[in-house]
Amino acid sequence: MATALIKKHKYASSAILAGSLVSAAAAITHYYKNSAARSSPPLHPLLDSGIKKGDPKFAGGKLRCHCASRTVEVTLDGNVAHNHACGCSKCWKPEGALFSVVAVIPRDQLRVTANGDKLFVVDDKAAIQRHACEECGVHMYGRIEAEHPFKGLDFVHVELSEEKGWQEPQFAAFVSSIIEQGFDAGKMGDVRAKLKSIGLETFDSLSPPLMDLIASWTAEKKA
Ligand SMILES: N[C@@H](CCC(=O)N[C@@H](CS)C(=O)NCC(=O)O)C(=O)O
Ligand SMILES: [Zn+2]
Ligand SMILES: [Zn+2]
């Protein structure tokens, strides 16, 4: 069923299943071709020229996919939380970026407000069901349906919004995962140094408070 669904989509080849792998590969090629970029790896457009602080009073806005017509629109009725850079292979990244920038919002504050028929689930086996546009490949939101410490929170990319004021990225997660996508392990020093220079602590999992939250949930479940 899932495979049949995927086949009918223009963008859904094996490339979309590994959509972020494709953009990571583009980022890596750029990194090696451009000698000036060698000590300044292309992290993400929201990170590369320094982080702009969000507005704590910001009340939300709209996310739009990259399609020029029949654009998928998602409305968020509040600001996001735990915004962070993620180097994992599953989170959507814009072309040329090594990292995704991803945040959470309670699922009752997220509504698909236009062209939701273009959305499909990228990997129905993953904990986070990422709903992507079949035409442009952009991930509009990720939702957890299974029992999970983060169930009830949806995952979103605020760069898809024109509004300003979204919470700024707080830390960098799954940094070493970019190596799994082909990035040279020997250049990780440059990546970690650049993340630190813009004020992001780097982790190879989630941040300690989020890891503690996951572990507490697991301990409670065991008990
Ligand atoms: N090293 C792995 C890490 C994947 C991973 O565990 N990603 C985290 C951060 S987004 C996660 O919670 N994944 C759950 C999911 O993708 O459903 C990769 O890069 O693919
Ligand atoms: Zn689209
Ligand atoms: Zn991720």
Q: Which residue numbers are catalytic?
A: 86, 88, 91
Q: Quick one: which atom of ligand 1 is closest to the CA of 206?
A: 9
Provide the ipTM.
0.98
- Give the model confidence (pLDDT) of 183-222 as tens digits: 999 999 999 999 999 999 999 999 999 999 999 999 999 9
DSSP conformation letters of 27-92: HHHHHHH-GGGTTS----TTTTT-PPP--TT---EEEE-S-SSS--EEEESS--EEEEEE--SSS-
- Give the model confidence (pLDDT) of 54-102 as tens digits: 999 999 999 999 999 999 999 999 999 999 999 999 999 999 999 999 9
Q: Quick one: which atom of ligand 1 is closest to the CA of 126?
A: 17
- Ligand 1 atom 2: the closest Cα is on which residue? 88
Whole-prediction pTM value? Answer: 0.88
Pocket of ligand 1 (CB under 6 A): 86, 88-91, 126-128, 174, 177, 180
Q: Quick one: which atom of ligand 1 is closest to the CA of 127?
A: 17
Q: Could you please state the CATH topology (level 3) that the domain comprising 2-222 is classified under.
A: glutathione-dependent formaldehyde- activating enzyme (gfa) (3.90.1590)
Cα 122 to averaged position of ligand 2 atoms, centre (Å): 14
Q: Give the H or E element holding residue 23.
A: helix 19-33
> What would you report as the CA-atom Rg of the chain, rounded to the nearest whole angstrom?
17
Q: Give the H or E element holding residue 14.
A: helix 14-17
